[in-house]
Chains A and B, each alone.
Chain A
Amino acid sequence: MSFFQALTERDRVFDFMTPQASTVDVRHGPILYMEDVTVSFDGFKAINKLNLTIDDGELRCIIGPNGAGKTTMMDIITGKTRPNEGSVWFGSRHNLLHMNEPEIASLGIGRKFQKPTVFEALSVFENLELAMAADKRIIPTLTARLTGEVKDRIDEVLETIGLTALRYQPAGILSHGQKQWLEIGMLLMQRPRLLLVDEPVAGMTEQEMERTAELLTGLAGKQSVVVVEHDMGFVRSIARQVTVLHQGSVLAEGTMDQVSSDPSVVEVYLGADDEEAA
């Protein structure tokens, strides 16, 4: 159809927004670029002049005490919260501050919530089906058929997250851990360029943790991954680059060892960390 028709069609997601053909420009290195971002909730600055850069394919861990602004930062990136000032760029082309959640999501930014949220009334299979990267306009969705490769893709993911057996069970009956898995699985279905993972191992057993670790490290490279986590052990096991947030701005950045040897960090964070790590 002609370009103008395309413009007038409200449901149309323009090609450059759909992840398959995602034209996120990463030639200049960073895939995510936050500069001087500030958010205040009635006076209280949750994020304060935050600067953060994530390179393409990087796996970055973000740590920090409660109220450091980790979750708020994710809200900003995914378009849930609008900052009072500052700029947030995805690649060097897309200004995230001018987009809403669905647009950002279809740019290829996937998010896993702190509290696992899956569609309990739907089966595991359907949860993945919905998450799958596809044309998400109304009519295509209405007429969508389950093609072979789609099924294979879903099976594959089911395999990775180890829920093949439960594929037709409503997600509501899954255990907490399984829900975490399912949600990560949903992220995988999205084929995102950037993955935001909020406390992926909260309430997981040891071996579950290990698999998560493998999984996330496995993702890195193909996708950029940002992990927010309290569990130091876990962080240490996966982290290459670590950023420490404190009172809404970056306190320190570097490898785990550098960071953990940084006195200010030790003071504000690791000191208070023990009981959280436990």
Chain B
Amino acid sequence: MWLTRPFNERSTQIFLLILTVAVIAVTVLHLAVPAGHPLYVSGYTVGLLGKYLTYALLAVAVDLVWGYLGILSLGHGAFFAIGGYAMGMYLMRQIGDRGTYGDPILPDFMVFLNWDSLPWFWYGFDMAWFAFAMVLIAPGLLALVFGWLAFRSRVTGVYLSIITQAMTFALMLAFFRNEMGFGGNNGLTDFRELLGFDLRSGATRLGLFIASGVALALGYVVCRSIVGSKLGRVCVATRDAEARTRFLGYRVERFQLFVFVVSAMLAGVAGALYVPQVGIINPSEFDPIFSIEIVLWVALGGRASLYGAVIGAVLVNYAKTVFTGVMPDAWLFALGGLFVFVTVFLPQGVAGLLGHLKRRRDDEPSDSETPDKEATA
């Protein structure tokens, strides 16, 4: 089965190993070690790491389209946010009559903005299965429509990047409007429980952290098996010589669309896991700046190497945590500098470096250029 193929690749094995060890280690250190002990991992840190993991998944999703399909999407924040909103709406409905006004149906913000009834698009979100389905479907659908329009008319390169940016910008403005019924600027917050687990308990947060880890692993495997497959090679072919691929008889726009949608869904999942961990979703996640930042994570980690995206996401966000803590003013300098440095001096990113070293050690091409032979053979 094509989904199992990645498990034969060494890079995937190593990645999954590290990830598993990491997640288990944190779990153990959080539960088993007494607080105050130097090895103790506090709930705060767990939450932080959980957030990084969701970002990592998001980065993987972006790398899939940018690295392998050559589509620089400046709008992936939108899919992330929509997934987040889907989850947020579910969590809002879970509050039930424990809201400030004790309204069994309407969320608080609707009550004091005088909504008399629940808008149609909120229906069904009280059911977990529906909400979780929406986490995949809503971003997927947006990607499908948008992508279909764009790829069909062969909008590529810069133009595509710019209209993806326009898309997320328009969505941001839209979600800021209170008439939209998504809580406007305040977004959705004050969540209580997820599938019956109290979101304000440490155990739940740990669970979410682990869930994020698992999601990242799954997402990685899915992406790996896509790029490892013949389809992945068609993508690379499209990236490098679109016209040629057409003459080989591949319907390029459909492959682009397929991968774009998959990527959007992954982003949605990342968002859905992000929201309960940070406890709020509001339109600022649609901010084009955020989408560009995601691209930086990937660029830093290294395009067209999925694990690179993960490294990039974790590094940058950890740096952000440190800098905004230690010297707030310096953060933007650092971030900006990073953008310039990576693009000019490190086009292959960290993964590129690793691959380079690897190749120097034993002269086989790193899988960022050609998928592993054991996959092909």
Residues of A within 8 A of B (CB): 10-11, 78, 80, 100-102, 105-106, 110-111, 113, 117-123, 125-126, 129-131, 136-138, 141-146, 168, 170, 186, 190
Contacts and interface: CB of A to CB of B under 8 A. Distances in A.
Nearest to A127: B237
A121 B370 contact: yes
A100 B229 CA distance: 26
Contacts of A131: 248
Given A122-B233, A122-B237, A105 B373 contact: no
Contacts of B237: 119, 122, 130
Mostly, the B contact residues are: helix
Q: Among the interface residues B247, B250, B377, which one has the most CB atoms of the partner chain A within 10 A? A: B247
B251 A136 contact: yes
B10 interface: no
Contacts of A125: 376
A80 B230 contact: no
Contacts of A101: 243, 246-247
Interface string B362-373: 000100011101
Interface string B347-371: 0000000000000000001000111
B331 interface: no
Given A105-B248, A141-B231, 15 more contacts: A11-B254, A105-B249, A111-B247, A119-B237, A119-B244, A123-B370, A126-B371, A130-B234, A138-B231, A141-B250, A142-B2, A143-B2, A144-B230, A146-B377, A170-B369
Nearest to B368: A121
Contacts of A129: 230, 233, 376
A187 B250 CA distance: 14
Nearest to B253: A102
25 contacts: A11-B254, A78-B247, A100-B246, A102-B246, A102-B251, A102-B252, A105-B249, A117-B241, A118-B244, A119-B241, A119-B244, A122-B236, A123-B370, A131-B248, A137-B251, A141-B230, A141-B231, A141-B234, A141-B250, A142-B2, A142-B226, A144-B231, A146-B376, A168-B370, A190-B249
B207 to A, nearest CB: 33
Given A102-B251, A122-B236, A138-B255, A130 B230 contact: yes
B323 to A, nearest CB: 36
A119 B236 contact: yes
Contacts of A100: 246
Contacts of A80: 243
B362 to A, nearest CB: 14
B97 interface: no
Q: Among the interface residues B245, B251, B254, which one has the most CB atoms of the partner chain A within 10 A? A: B251
B240 A168 contact: no
A122 B68 CA distance: 12
A146 B2 CA distance: 11
A146 B229 CA distance: 10
Given A105-B246, A105-B249, A146-B377, A126 B233 contact: yes
Contacts of A186: 248
B365 A144 contact: no
Nearest to A106: B249
Q: Among the interface residues A100, A136, A170, which one has the most CB atoms of the partner chain B within 10 A? A: A136
Contact of A141 (B229, B243, B376): B229
Nearest to A151: B377
B370 A142 contact: no
Q: Among the interface residues B233, B258, B377, which one has the most CB atoms of the partner chain A within 10 A? A: B233
Contact of B376 (A78, A121, A126): A126
Contacts of A136: 248-251
Nearest to B257: A138
A113 B244 contact: yes
A86 B236 CA distance: 37
A189 to B, nearest CB: 9
Given A119-B237, A141-B229, A146-B377, A105 B369 contact: no
A186 B243 CA distance: 15
A106 B229 CA distance: 21
Contacts of B239: 121
B247 A105 contact: yes
Contacts of A106: 249
A78 B243 CA distance: 11
Contacts of B234: 130, 141
Contacts of A10: 254
Contacts of A126: 233, 370-371, 376
B282 to A, nearest CB: 36
Complex A-B, nearest 6 residue pairs according to Cβ-Cβ distance, in ascending order: A105-B249, A101-B246, A106-B249, A142-B231, A144-B230, A119-B237
A160 B245 CA distance: 23
Contacts of A120: 240
Nearest to B3: A143
Contact of B229 (A113, A118, A137, A143): A143
A214 to B, nearest CB: 25
Contacts of B376: 125-126, 129, 146
Contact of B248 (A142, A143, A190): A190
